[in-house]
Every structure is written in structure tokens, then in C-alpha cells.
């Protein structure tokens, strides 16, 4: 079935600002973005933390179908989006009839588990600089793309803020300092890390510095 036919059967168009579901709500639907952008956020100590910004081809909300538990985060449409809304019965049919979809979902879920582990590890760092550098090195290893001048990581300040528990402005300041140190170059849709090994060594230095400061 073509994307257009799928959208005719299961799709809806949502304007910016639409809340598809809220953290804590019960839900029995998952979503696949055909076009547009959706942010996934969570309240942490009363403040919104953006966990991810999802675009075309991404899916979310599947845990409500898989474990029948309340939503663990809030999904909000950032820009007008064409989204497939899939109920449990349709989801089961899709998995049974299309091995490729099942494999893609397993790979994506495995990636999310790894990202969650990386995020927990990042939050163990007290120093904000260490959190950002750790997250960037992990991202470079996991999904960085070789480009001229280094490895590209397509993560915005908002993405990094959600993963590190920091404010976007704080993340921008840290990235700016890393650029001045010639460890990376800022691009319109992310950063290009000049030398991932050098960045890892810088993280080691920050970790040692944090340890020695804690002994004072």
C-alpha cells in the first residue's frame, strides 16, 4: 500500500500546537509521522524537558499498545503534520503482514533503549560541560555521519537540552565554547565534530577535573 493510500485510510493532519497525548494519560494508539515535526517532552520538577524532536518516518506512542500503561511523556505538534494514527488491531496486522516493518521497529526500539542508557549515564555527570560533551560523543558513535571536516551530529540545542537536563541557552553557550576551542563546528541543523577522539579526551579531562574538585 502506497503512503498516499495509507494516509487516506489511517492519516490525519494536525496544526501546530496540537497535543496528541499528555503524560500520564491512558492511550491505545501509536503514531507515524509522514510529514511535519512533533516534540516529545516530559515534566521534570515542574518544568518541561524536550526529550526528542521527531520528523518524517519516525514513530512514537507505541508503548501504550505494547504494555497498556499510561503515557510516559507528552507529544505536541511543532509544525503542521501528516500523521498515521494506528490502533492495536491495525498495529498487529501490520507486524504480521510485513516483516520489514517489524524489523525496523525492533531496531528503533533497541536504539531508544541505548539512548536512554546514554542519557542516564550523562545525568551522572554533575558538570554541565561534561554532560554535553558526553552526549555528543555518544551521538557521534551511534548515528554520526562522516562529512567533510569530521562527523556530523544532527542534534539541535533543544535536543541536547532534553538529553542532558540543561536549558537550551546553557547548551548553546557550551557548544559555542567548544566551537571556539575548534573541537566542533556549528551548522544550521547540528554540529560537525572535527575529531571524535579529541572530544573524548576532552571529556576525560573534564571528568578528572570534576573528581579532583570534589576532593577539595
Q: What is the mean pLDDT of the chain?
A: 84
Dihedral sign for Cα 46, 51, 56, 57, please: negative
**What pLDDT score was predicted for residue 2?**
63
Q: Which of 24-38, 45-59, 201-215: highest mean pLDDT?
A: 24-38
**What pLDDT score was predicted for residue 19?**
96
- CATH 2.60.120.10 matches 6-97: yes
Is the pLDDT at 33 greater than 90? The verdict is yes
Mean per-residue pLDDT, 72-82:
93
**What pLDDT score was predicted for residue 123?**
57
**What pLDDT score was predicted for residue 215?**
47
Half-sphere exposure of 94 (CA within 13 A, CB side): 19
Is the pLDDT at 78 greater than 90? The verdict is yes
Mean per-residue pLDDT, 101-119:
71
* Adjacent-strand bridge partners of 85: 31
Band of pLDDT at residue 82, cut at 50, 70 and 90: very high
Tens of pLDDT, residue by residue over 143-199, are 889 998 899 998 888 778 877 878 888 999 999 999 999 999 999 888 999 888 898
User: Percent of the chain at pLDDT above 90?
Assistant: 29
Is the pLDDT at 115 greater than 80? The verdict is no
The residues, ordered by sequence, that sit 6+ positions from 186 with a Cβ below 8 Å of its Cβ are 175, 176, 179
Domain formed by 127-215, architecture: Orthogonal Bundle (1.10)
Residue that wins the pLDDT comparison between 65 and 113: 65
Residue that wins the pLDDT comparison between 77 and 205: 77
Tell me which residue has cell 558513535.
141
Residue that wins the pLDDT comparison between 6 and 152: 152
Q: How far apart are CA 196 and CA 141, in angstroms?
A: 8
The C-alpha angle 170, 141, 167, rounded to 5 degrees, equals 15
The three grid cell numbers given for residue 23, joined into one nine-digit string = 503524560
- Segments making up each domain of the chain, as ranges: 6-97, 127-215
Q: What is the pTM of this model?
A: 0.58
Is the pLDDT at 75 greater than 90? The verdict is yes
Amino acid at each position: 500500500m502506497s503512503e498516499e493510500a495509507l494516509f487516506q485510510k489511517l492519516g490525519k493532519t494536525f496544526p501546530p500546537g496540537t497535543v496528541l497525548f499528555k503524560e500520564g494519560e491512558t492511550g491505545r494508539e501509536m503514531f507515524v509521522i509522514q510529514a511535519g515535526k512533533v516534540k516529545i517532552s516530559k515534566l521534570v520538577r515542574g518544568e518541561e524537558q524536550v526529550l526528542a524532536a521527531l520528523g518524517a518516518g519516525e514513530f512514537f506512542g507505541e508503548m501504550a499498545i505494547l504494555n497498556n500503561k499510561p503515557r510516559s511523556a507528552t507529544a505536541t505538534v511543532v509544525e503542521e503534520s501528516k500523521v498515521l494514527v494506528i490502533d492495536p488491531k491495525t498495529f498487529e496486522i501490520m507486524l504480521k503482514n510485513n516483516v520489514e516493518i517489524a524489523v525496523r521497529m525492533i531496531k528503533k526500539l533497541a536504539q531508544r533503549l541505548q539512548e536512554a542508557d546514554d542519557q542516564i549515564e550523562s545525568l551522572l555527570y554533575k558538570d554541565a560541560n561534561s554532560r554535553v560533551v558526553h552526549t555528543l560523543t555518544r551521538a557521534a558513535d551511534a548515528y554520526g555521519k562522516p562529512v567533510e571536516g569530521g562527523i556530523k551530529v544532527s542534534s539541535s540545542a533543544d535536543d541536547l537540552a532534553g538529553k542532558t537536563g540543561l536549558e537550551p541557552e546553557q547548551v548553546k553557550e557550551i557548544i559555542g565554547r567548544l566551537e571556539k576551542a575548534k573541537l566542533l563546528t556549528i551548522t544550521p541543523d547540528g554540529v560537525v565534530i572535527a575529531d571524535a577522539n579529541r572530544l573524548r579526551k576532552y571529556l576525560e579531562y573534564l571528568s578528572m577535573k570534576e573528581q579532583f574538585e570534589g576532593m577539595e
